[in-house]
């Protein structure tokens, strides 16, 4: 069944975000749920030469990498049918045209035990993308993030807001990759300067 057909049949569409969408959706939605998807791990392996970087200094942003043992936490947004077309058009520009992501359908498991799993649309950047950067050490990724800024803001903000979301909404989850990069970034700057650096480009 096609995505549009599935969405119209259910009168709404769920969209799962695991990067900037967790704190900056910028599209109309009815409600949101914190939860996770299985079979993927979040990695800062994708390049960004528009939102959080440029052609000379591409930023590092999150994508999903298949891993049967892993799960990735984030937020699912329910988009009603009345806003579906405009929301998908907006996300197509933001995530696909400018970000280089493709779409997949995944099963989303809400954090609230009383809520049943649901199907959601997710945006993933794969290794065949021209701006895909691939693996690097936590120190190398942090160093690249520390000097990158784009049309939407500094790459530092992207990292810190994502880490903040995980601590506030999923305090029981230890995202080693995310928090290790954050720790490496904080070592680059004297105390307090990391926040100021992120704000300069806002």
Active site residues: 95
131 contacts 46 by C-beta, under 8 angstroms: yes
The percent helix, strand, coil of the chain (3-state, each to 5) is 35, 30, 30
How long is the chain? 202
Q: How far apart are CA 50 and CA 116, in angstroms?
A: 37
């Amino acid at each position: 069944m096609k995505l549009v057909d599935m969405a119209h049949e259910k009168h709404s569409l769920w969209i799962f975000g695991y990067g900037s969408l967790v704190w900056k959706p910028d599209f109309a939605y009815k409600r949101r749920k914190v939860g996770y998807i299985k079979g993927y791990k979040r990695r800062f392996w994708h390049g960004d030469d528009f939102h959080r970087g440029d052609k000379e200094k591409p930023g590092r942003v999150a994508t999903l990498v298949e891993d049967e043992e892993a799960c990735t936490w984030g937020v699912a947004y329910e988009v009603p049918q009345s806003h579906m077309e405009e929301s998908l058009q907006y996300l197509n520009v933001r995530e696909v045209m400018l970000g280089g992501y493709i779409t997949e359908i995944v099963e989303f498991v809400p954090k609230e035990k009383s809520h049943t799993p649901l199907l959601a649309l997710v945006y993933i950047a794969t290794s065949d993308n021209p701006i895909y950067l691939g693996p690097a050490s936590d120190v190398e990724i942090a160093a690249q993030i520390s000097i990158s800024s784009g049309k939407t803001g500094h790459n530092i903000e992207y990292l810190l807001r994502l880490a903040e979301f995980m601590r506030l909404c999923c305090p029981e989850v230890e995202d080693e990759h995310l928090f290790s990069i954050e720790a490496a970034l904080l070592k680059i700057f004297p105390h307090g300067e990391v926040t100021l650096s992120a704000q300069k480009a806002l």
